[in-house]
Amino acid sequence: MSDTQPTLSYSVTGRGENLLLVHGGTGSQKHWIRNTEALAEHYRVWAIDLPGFGASPDCPPGVDSDHYIDHVFEQLQTFSFTQEPFMIGAFSFGSVVSSGLALRFGRRLKKMSVVGPAGFGVKRAVPIDTRSMRSAGDSIQAQDEVMRHNLKAIMLYYPESITDEMIAMHRIHIKETRFDSRPLSLSPILLENLQKVNCPIQIMWGEHDQYAYPTLQDRMQLTQDALPKALLQKIDRAGHWAQYENAEAVNKAMLDFLTAGA
């Protein structure tokens, strides 16, 4: 293990076996804001900001999409808990990163739980309808409306989920995102990596996941064909960010999976 102290921003809470939470693109550890407390009743939960996101440092020069997962792995090696068996929970872009981490950590990874996975390499025939923040100019009200529209288009299905608190969080996420997650999110490496992983895998989608193209059923069937031993689950009353929109259901599903056989 390296003697270097962790430089990634993180929070840690709870007691028990170690559980690492990895957030999605244009996000931070706050993607798990409605989950850490419930999970920490059973595990020691480490929620990180990935390099180039949140309060973590930028990626060093030369670290692009091709080298990003290696860089994340190097950073995680400075956390003492990663030298022993641990588990991972991952969301969206974080699932692609974590699929590569799973290969690198090997037998140290006990279980992996994924929400709203990216990395299928499937381009939509019709792009998701999002709006540019530049179109809002300097108007805070117009910016809020663009964010509300985009959150409804890509993250949260029910309008009532998009509160003023959520808008404020998303504004910070946009400001603090310095790494472009799209190349990895749109790559086809998720299933390729997970087919080489030996630990138990759980994958969940919100029933209205905006990224499950062309349909959620098709996405789940593609995943089942590639990973016949994986536990696949649909989360009712949720869009892509299922662990926020229906936190109770995701928390229960994650805990049922992670604690099984313990």
Alpha helices, H only, the chain: 36-40, 68-76, 93-105, 140-154, 164-176, 182-185, 189-194, 216-226, 242-245, 247-259
Inside any domain, residue 203? yes
Which tens digit of pLDDT belongs to each residue from 230-255?
A: 999 999 999 999 999 999 999 999 99
Q: How many domains does the chain have?
A: 1
Inside any domain, residue 141? no
Inside any domain, residue 198? yes
Inside any domain, residue 217? yes
pLDDT band at 193 (very low <50, low <70, confident <90, very high): very high
Which tens digit of pLDDT belongs to each residue from 111-126?
A: 999 999 999 998 776 6
For the chain, give the longest Cα–Cα distance. Answer: 54
Inside any domain, residue 108? yes
Give the model's pLDDT for residue 239.
97
Give the model's pLDDT for residue 124.
76
Inside any domain, residue 16? yes
For residue 252, give the CATH number of its domain: 3.40.50.1820
Q: CA 179, 183, 188: angle at the middle one, nearest 5?
A: 140
Tell me the pTM. Answer: 0.96
The encoded tokens of residue 245 equal 């929109």
User: Strands across the sheet with 201-206, in order?
Assistant: 10-13, 44-48, 18-22, 86-91, 109-115, 201-206, 231-235
Give the model's pLDDT for residue 127.
78
Which tens digit of pLDDT belongs to each residue from 135-180?
A: 999 999 999 999 999 999 999 999 999 999 999 999 999 999 999 9
